[in-house]
Every structure is written in C-alpha cells, then in structure tokens.
C-alpha cells in the first residue's frame, strides 16, 4: 500500500459502490423496466457494469431509443421506493466517516446519480451531517468523467487539487480525478474491472472502504 497522502483536507466520495451498496435496488428497478416493456431480463453483473453514467445511460444500451423516455420515467418512479429497502452502507463506511470528521477533514459527495435519488440514499442512511457538499451530475452541464463535478466542489469549499482526494469504485471515477488533477483512491468492488481501472492511474486501489483511513 502506498504511503499516506500528505496535505489532504478534502475527501470527496462517489456514492454507489463506494459508500453505499445500492445494487439490489438498481437491479430490481432495472429488471422491473425490462419486464414491463417486454425486453430480456439482465444478470446482476451486466447491470452492475453499466452503472456509473446516470440512469438514462444505464438503460440506453438495453432499450430502443423510442422507448427510452418511458423507460427512464418508469425506472425513476420504481427506484424511489426500491432505494428505501434495497440499499445499505458498506461495512465500515459509517465508522470511516465518523473518523474522518473527527480528524477535521471536509467531506463531500460527487455522483452521476440524480440529486433526488442521492438525497433519498443520504437521508435513508442518516448521512447528511457528514457532507459539506453533495453535487450530482443533473445540476451540471457535464457529469463524470468530465472534471467539472470535482472542480465545482473544490471551488465551493475552497480547496486546491493538491489538498483533495476522490474516492470511487470505477474507472470513470479514476478518470474524473485524473482530469481534475486530484488523487484517486478506488475501492475495488469488482475485481474484473481492475485492469481497466489501473489504466487511469489511480493513486491506489483498496479492497474495502475502511482501508481509506490508512491513506489520508
């Protein structure tokens, strides 16, 4: 494991796959749409590897263009309820957030998940008190992997890239950090994606979120 990163004052987190396991809710909502519109159901791994680009982009490879607006509306309606029972904090995530706050770090969230759904998750798991900023791609011109989302958080909280770490779980997160000139730490929740993630040159890959405490 690399040495701890010095001068870090701001830790920005992705939400899904990093702090929160919402894949049961995503899979349930996704296959509800497939079933409702008469398209083939998909296995969990296929759905999981399509996540990270927002809900419309999640559905786009599997639903014809003519059905996409209807599919997205159905997905969002179903997903509001699915998130209440189909998401959980990863083991050690809350303890890590408590630890980082106690050490004086500023914490934030940068997610391609729409704001409404991110806030459902944050409220459901009582995370509001931890985050100084929560910014999602639907309020910006461009989402990840464009660096705007990280730059906007750093601007609002007045930190430089050298004082910031972005923690995610996918290659898109590592790419976003690289483009924002921020160090990326990736939680490797899917070992099959390790090679793709390493191409984006993250600072480190960790096997579970609790290990972040050793790097900042």
163 with 64, same domain: the answer is no
Q: Does some domain include residue 1?
A: no
Give the CA count within 13 Å in the CB-facing half-sphere of 154: 19
Shared domain for 69 and 57, answered yes or no, is: yes
Residue corresponding to tokens 């639907």:
138
The pLDDT assigned to 18 comes to: 96
Residue 48 belongs to a domain with what CATH number? 1.10.150
Residue 143 lies in a domain: yes
Q: Within this chain, do residues 135 and 81 fall inside the same structural domain, yes or no?
A: no
In this structure, the dihedral spanned by the alpha carbons of residues 200, 206, 115 and 124, taken in order and rounded to 10 degrees, is 170
Cα–Cα distance between 54 and 51 in angstroms, integer? 7
Could you tell me the CATH number of the domain that includes residue 198? 3.40.50.1000
Say if residue 36 is in the same domain as residue 74: yes
Residues 35 and 117 occupy one common structural domain? no
Range of the domain at 66: 23-85
pTM comes to 0.90
pLDDT tens, N- to C-terminus, the chain (216 residues): 577 787 899 999 999 999 999 999 999 999 999 999 999 999 999 998 888 777 778 999 999 999 999 999 999 999 999 999 999 999 999 999 999 999 999 999 999 989 999 999 999 999 999 999 999 999 999 999 999 999 999 999 999 999 999 999 999 999 999 999 999 999 998 888 899 999 999 999 999 999 999 888
Q: Go through the chain and tell me how many residues it has.
A: 216
Q: Does a structural domain hold residue 58? A: yes
Q: What are phi and psi of 13, to 5 degrees?
A: -115, 140
- CA dist 100 and 114 (Å) reads 26
* Contact present, 182 and 164 (Cβ < 8 Å): yes
User: Which of 40, 61, 85 marks a domain boundary?
Assistant: 85
Count: domains in the chain: 2
Q: Mean pLDDT of all residues in the chain?
A: 93
Question: Of 85, 109, 139, which marks where a domain is finished?
Answer: 85
The verdict on 98 and 182 lying in the same domain is: yes
What was the pLDDT predicted at 72? 92
Asked whether residue 65 falls in the same domain as residue 160, the answer is: no
Task: Report pLDDT digits (tens) over 67-123.
Answer: 999 999 999 999 999 999 999 999 999 999 999 999 999 999 999 989 999 999 999
110/15 same-domain check? yes
Q: Are residues 202 and 116 in the same domain?
A: yes
> Is residue 14, in this structure, part of any structural domain at all?
yes
Looking at the fold, whether 121 and 72 belong to one and the same domain comes out as no
Q: Is 5 within the bounds of a domain?
A: no
Domain for residue 17, yes or no?
Answer: yes
Q: What is the DSSP letter of 91?
A: T
């Amino acid at each position: 494991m690399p040495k701890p990163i010095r001068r870090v004052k701001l830790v920005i987190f992705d939400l899904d796959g990093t702090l929160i396991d919402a894949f049961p809710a995503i899979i349930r909502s996704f296959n509800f749409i497939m079933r409702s519109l008469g398209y083939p159901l998909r296995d969990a791994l296929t759905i999981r590897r399509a996540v990270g680009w927002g809900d419309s982009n999640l559905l786009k490879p599997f639903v014809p263009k003519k059905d996409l607006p209807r599919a997205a509306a159905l997905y969002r309606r179903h997903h509001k309820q699915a998130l209440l029972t189909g998401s959980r904090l990863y083991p050690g995530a809350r303890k890590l957030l408590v630890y980082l706050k106690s050490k004086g770090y500023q914490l934030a969230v940068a997610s391609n998940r729409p704001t409404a759904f991110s806030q459902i998750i944050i409220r459901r798991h009582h995370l509001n008190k931890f985050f100084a900023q929560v910014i999602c791609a639907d309020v910006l011109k461009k989402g990840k992997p464009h660096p705007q989302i990280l730059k906007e958080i750093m601007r609002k909280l007045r930190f430089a890239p050298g004082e910031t770490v972005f923690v995610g779980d996918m290659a898109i997160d590592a790419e976003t950090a690289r483009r924002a000139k921020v160090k990326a730490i990736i939680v490797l929740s899917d070992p099959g994606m390790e090679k793709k993630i390493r191409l984006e040159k993250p600072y480190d890959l960790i096997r579970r979120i609790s290990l972040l405490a050793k790097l900042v």
